Structure 1
Amino acid sequence: MLDSTKKIALMAILTAMCVSLRLFKIIPIPNVQPVTDILMIVTLNLSIGFGLTLAILTMVISNIYLGFGLWTIPQIFAYGACILTVALLSKLTPLKDHLTLQLILATFLGWEYGFWVDLGMSIYGGIPAFLAYWASSLTFDTYHAIGNLAFYPVLYKPLCLALNHFQRRKI
């Protein structure tokens, strides 16, 4: 178990990593960045609370630079829904033990995140707005899903090792 000082330090490091990866795109394709995968790996290895806190901090801090707008709240709720999906499936399935299941879920989260953002934006325009947002974002959500599939195997082992090392480390 992490003490509070270690938790704060780890949260700061992970938040800085997620924010910088959102701001400075590794691949110049829209919606392709590894934040969703990092949130999934953190939720699986630490806790749902840690994953939710990281998601909120990542979206708020990165949107300071990218711009706040009506979309910020749906983005936070969308990542919250994705983290709840990861937590629920890790309780109901052997998700933690099977990389293939994790890859499938990481891919799905690209579409789930987009769905929840689109649904959140429909508050401002109802069902027609949701359908318009959803239809216009399918390509970008697919980029997100494919990006998740590509980044997950690259991030999985090093991030899991780092998180496990950090948990065992004595200060």
Structure 2
Amino acid sequence: MRTHKAIVTAFLLILMIVILGLNYIWANAYLWLSFGLVLLAIVLFLFRFETRKVEPRELVLLAVMASIAAVGRIPFASLPSVQPTTFVIMMSGYVFGAESGFVIGAVAALASNMIMGQGPWTPWQMVAWGLVGLTAGLLRNTLFMKRRWGQIVFGVLWGYLFGWIMNLWGFIAMIQSGGSETWKAFILYMIGSATFDTFHAISNVFFLVVFGGIWIKILSRFKRKYGLLE
């Protein structure tokens, strides 16, 4: 079993390296090469998670949390970058761990886009929201994340980091269509989303301040009671 896991993991890593190498051969295929690389990164992580021993009831919990995060986007669709999705994913990663947080974030992006609209941005959203859950889980035992102010700072940072990650695919698409490849163009493109990123950061702070404490208590109690994702 371990040999099989190692072979599959090595194969996926080799594919990533090949895709990176193709970037030097097909210089004008930035968008599709980056799309393939991001997609492979998601597959690699999900494969790693799938090889863990996870009980059916734990999978149900992950699906429920991903559904809550996904559905949370819909009522706020008319408000630019304002939604509770990032908050739900952050709380999930904080309570249930890094790998669970990544899976919930990635699945939430994929599921919500079935209503909001799928496109080449979907894998990037899966990675961005997956990283929210992953980093929340990795930092959950630190003094920084145990304090409310630390969680708020974390939420603010991800309000901007999420936007910057999404800007990457947009900038790559712009280059693909003949746009400028200069650092000046890149910086201006990244700055262009500042207003929306600020809305995202503010909404994260709002949900953390109002609902953060009670969500952590409820999810932690549920986790202890049923012994899930220990």
Instruction: Give me the TM-score of the superposition, normalised by structure 2.
Output: 0.65
Tell me by how many angstroms 1:86 deviates.
3.0
Task: Tell me if 1:58 matches 2:108.
Answer: yes
Task: Tell me if 1:115 matches 2:154.
Answer: no
Tell me by how many angstroms 1:125 deviates.
2.8
Percent sequence identity over aligned pairs: 27
Q: 1:14 aligns to what?
A: 65
2:206 to 150, 153, 163: 150
Q: Is the 2:95–2:137 contact (alpha carbons within 8 Å) kept by the matching residues of 1?
A: no
Q: 2:143 aligns to what?
A: 94
Which residues of 2 match residues 36-51 of structure 1 at below 5 A?
Answer: 36-51=86-101
Summarize the Cα distance change of 1:31–1:66 in structure 2 as closer, same or farther, 3 Å threshold: same
RMSD in angstroms over aligned alpha carbons?
A: 2.4
Q: 2:154 aligns to what?
A: 105
1:160 to 216, 220, 225: 216
| Paired residue type of 2:68 | M
Q: Is the 1:74–1:121 contact (alpha carbons within 8 Å) kept by the matching residues of 2?
A: no
Q: Is the 1:38–1:155 contact (alpha carbons within 8 Å) kept by the matching residues of 2?
A: no
Q: Is the 2:106–2:125 contact (alpha carbons within 8 Å) kept by the matching residues of 1?
A: no
The answer to which structure, 1 or 2, has the higher relative contact order (CA under 8 A, 6+ apart) is 1
Summarize the Cα distance change of 1:133–1:75 in structure 2 as closer, same or farther, 3 Å threshold: farther
Aligned length: 168
CA distance in 2: counterparts of 1:121 and 1:35, whole angstroms: 21
CA distance in 2: counterparts of 1:170 and 1:111, whole angstroms: 36
Summarize the Cα distance change of 1:9–1:101 in structure 2 as closer, same or farther, 3 Å threshold: same
Tell me by how many angstroms 1:3 deviates.
6.2
| Paired residue type of 1:151 | F
CA distance in 2: counterparts of 1:41 and 1:95, whole angstroms: 15
Greater displacement, 153-162 / 96-105: 153-162
Summarize the Cα distance change of 1:11–1:84 in structure 2 as closer, same or farther, 3 Å threshold: closer
Summarize the Cα distance change of 1:167–1:82 in structure 2 as closer, same or farther, 3 Å threshold: closer
Tell me by how many angstroms 1:135 deviates.
2.9
The answer for unaligned runs of 5 or more in structure 2 is 1-52, 176-180
Q: Is the 1:118–1:130 contact (alpha carbons within 8 Å) kept by the matching residues of 2?
A: no
Q: Is the 1:60–1:72 contact (alpha carbons within 8 Å) kept by the matching residues of 2?
A: yes
| Paired residue type of 1:168 | R
CA distance in 2: counterparts of 1:151 and 1:22, whole angstroms: 13
Q: Is the 1:39–1:51 contact (alpha carbons within 8 Å) kept by the matching residues of 2?
A: yes
